[in-house]
Structure 1
Amino acid sequence: MTHELKAIVFDVFGTVVDWRGSIAADLGAWGARHGLVRDWAALADDWRARYQPQMERVRSGAIGWTVLDALHRQALDELLPLHGLQQLGEEERRYINRVWHRLNPWSDVREGLWRLKQRHVIGTLSNGNVALLVNMAKQAGLPWDVVFSAESFQAYKPLPETYLGAARMLDLAPDELMLCAAHNDDLAAARAQGLRTAFVARPTEYGPHQRKDLAPAQAWDVVAADFIELADRLGA
């Protein structure tokens, strides 16, 4: 028996917000105010490259539960000397680390989310911690009904606890919940737990030379060009 779709949760980094472009623009403006000229997009790329390896330390049990803000800060402290920024003090490092709280959405996101919200419960299902996701939503005007984070379950995607935990907390069967993501591996993990799936490509997430997640890798339940088409496809 297939249930009616009741709720949609969204991967955030890359799917909802343009992390690379946002970081480059934000830190570029900050650097200009402080007389610092750097390749901020390269810093963003190097930072993001440490994302999965750091979370894997938590997933594997090598270290205890650690929120993403703290993992980001550990990676940042390692990266700054590589970008000639080892002289930065605590206040400056904290400002830079919190750039992840200030990311901007892709151009189709707000309209698409507001339409989807009229018919479905909408929320995040992100590896970002709760404070990060709430601050981002306030700044970016993202109209979530609920914020689910890896922190909610103390488990980073793609561990099953994240997908099943969101369904459980909404009192839904897994197939009453859909994950929307720009990443095929995230969708595969959600589908394995019984969730419905929607793929929205973000072909410039990793910059002009992106090579992965340019197209759906499986026959996902919905494939859409953007959140507006996703709303169209779901009758919102």
Structure 2
Amino acid sequence: MTKPTEIKALVFDVFGTVVDWRSGVAREAAAFLQRHAPHLDAFEFADIWRREYSPAMEEIRSGRRPYVRLDVLHRENLVKVLKRSGITGATDAEIDELNLAWHRLDPWPDSVPALNRLKRRFIIAPLSNGNIRLMVDMAKRAGLPWDAILGAEVVRAYKPSPQVYSETVDILGLAPAELCLVAAHNGDLAAARRLGLSTAFVVRPTEHGPDQKTDLNAQQAWDFVVDDLNELASQLDASID
């Protein structure tokens, strides 16, 4: 286990860990669906759209497709979902606007105060599959106090590809153990640990809604296991003081 005092920077998975993507996408989709498919549930629509996320990135991780930013994948996935749902007649402008739902997600209640606490002692940045503009827009709207924007578009690869973690360590000029990945997803943490990063698991039991079945508990002995980001900040404060 890493000594907490070795940690100099924390990088964060964002979708699900820092922000509530499901509620935000459902909120943005509701008005669109009211116009085009009032029989569809906005949360189900958000879930269907999100299910296209990993397969689309796998095309790039596997080398079958060159890197494109997540905004592009999200829009392509949205067009697929609309066609599959039998939704016709939406204009390109409407589709573009709905695709910006991912730029307007709300943080979990603990995220902003905890990030501000952590920022006082550590470098903090997203390590997200989201592209730079998406992360900047989200941060400005939600008040996420990042020191930098890092992640997929910076290294032109999607998590959990190893280079996302190793190149981020190099960008920050740190030893791997000095960088801690904070995530609500065991798979993300496992990939980071294989590259020597420190790890912190945050339980987000409703990321996928009230019937969530995955990532309800830590599957390995991560360096930190916490119920929210304030608890992580307190543990790090206690270990340093």
Alignment TM class, shorter chain as reference: over 0.9
Matching residue within 62, 65, 88 for 2:67: 65
Residue 175 (1) aligns with residue 195 (2) = no
**Aligned partner (choices 123, 133, 147) of residue 131 of structure 1:** 133
TM-score w.r.t. structure 1 length?
0.95
Give the TM-score taking structure 2 as reference length.
0.93
Amino acid at match of 1:97: N
Q: CA deviation at 1:161?
A: 0.7
User: Is the CA contact (8 Å cut-off) linking 1:201 and 1:214 kept in structure 2?
Assistant: yes
Q: Which residue in 2 is equivalent to 1:165?
A: 167
What residue number does 2:14 align with?
Answer: 12
CA distance in 1, matches of 2:87, 2:22: 19
Please give the alpha-carbon distance, in whole angstroms, between the structure 1 residues aligned to 2:32 and 2:153.
29
> What is the CA distance between 1:53 and its match in structure 2?
0.6
* Partners of 1:43 and 1:83 within 8 A in 2: no
Q: Distance in 1 between matches of 2:28 and 2:101?
A: 7
SS of alignment partner, residue 235 of structure 1: helix
Which is worse superposed, 79-88 or 216-225? 79-88
Tell me the CA shift for residue 30 of structure 1: 5.1
The answer to whether the aligner puts 1:119 opposite 2:121 as a matched pair is yes
Percent identity between matched residues is 51
The question of whether the paired residues in 1 share the 8 Å contact of 2:36 and 2:87 is answered with no
| Runs of 5+ consecutive residues of structure 1 not aligned to the other structure | none
Provide the alpha-carbon RMSD of the alignment. Answer: 1.6
The DSSP-based 3-state class of the residue aligned with 1:57 is: helix
1:145 to 144, 147, 150: 147
Specify the alignment match of 1:43 in structure 2.
45
Q: Which runs of 5+ in 2 are unaligned?
A: none
Aligned partner letter, 1:160:
P
Aligned equivalents of 2:64 and 2:133: distance in 1? Answer: 24
The range that moved more, 7-16 or 41-50, is 41-50
Instruction: Report the count of equivalent residues.
Output: 235
Aligned amino acid, residue 90 of structure 2: L
Distance 1:29 1:110 in 2: 28
**Cα-to-partner distance string for 1:166-203 (whole Å, 9 max, x where unaligned):** 11111101110000000000000000000000000110
Match of 1:95 in 2: 97
Segments of 4+ moved more than 3 angstroms: 29-32
